[in-house]
Amino acid sequence: MVSDKKDEFDLRVFLPYLLNRAAEESSLEFQRAYKDRYGMLRTEWRVLFHLGNYGEMTAKEICERARIHKTKISRAVSKLEQRRYLLRKRSYTDRRVEMLTLTAAGQTVYRELCDIAQRYDEKLAGMFSADEVALLRQMLRRLADMV
């Protein structure tokens, strides 16, 4: 007799769940770097990294690239400014817009965190073969809609 019982759903293969769990787990160690060492929140390091990675940007551009809501960006920018990690400069072609750049201090922190990130990434990547990791990154980028 053929089983007509619908395949039971298994939480542990559900992609959104797996992705979230993997993301949470793999963020923990790196989080300590920016949180414990620099008292930064996740959004703050994301802003810092975007400015470090892409140079001068506006809050709007960071919102779009990082897919973070503008209120979170706004608060993260204030915090980073307070800590003298970034400078705001009003665009004088459009005075609603602020150009954001890292200060020397911000760049130093950025580089330090980059080093930590890179080492940590290598550690994670080391769990798999080079081909596997390449495929993983590619698939994640597609899922993240960063194609």
**Shorter beta-carbon distance to DNA: residue 91 or 108:** 91
Helices 42-54 and 59-66, axial angle in degrees (round to 10): 110
Instruction: Considering the complex, state which of residue 86 and residue 110 has its C-beta at the smaller distance from DNA.
Output: 86
Question: Phi, psi at residue 7, to the nearest 5°?
Answer: -50, 125
**DSSP result, 105-130:** HHHHHHHHHHHHHHHHHHHHHTTS-H
Using CB under 7 A as the binding rule, whether residue 97 contacts DNA is answered as yes
Stretch that binds a copy of itself, among 45-53, 56-64, 76-84, 92-100 (CB under 8 A): 45-53
Distance CA 84, CA 77 (A): 10
Q: In what order do the strands lie in the sheet with 98-102?
A: 57-58, 98-102, 86-90
Return the one option of DNA, a copy of itself, none that residue 145 interacts with (CB less than 5 to 8 A, by type): a copy of itself
Q: Is 96 in the site for DNA (CB under 7 A)?
A: yes
Please name the amino acid found at residue 137. R
**If binding is defined by CB under 8 A, does position 120 make contact with a copy of itself?**
yes
Query: Can you give the length of the chain in residues?
Result: 147
Is residue 24 part of the contact set for a copy of itself (CB under 8 A)?
yes
119 binds a copy of itself (CB under 8 A): no
Residue 12 contacts which entry, DNA, a copy of itself, none (Cβ below 5-8 A, type-dependent): a copy of itself
Q: Which residues make up the interface to DNA (CB under 7 A)?
A: 41-43, 58-60, 63, 69-75, 77-78, 88, 94-98
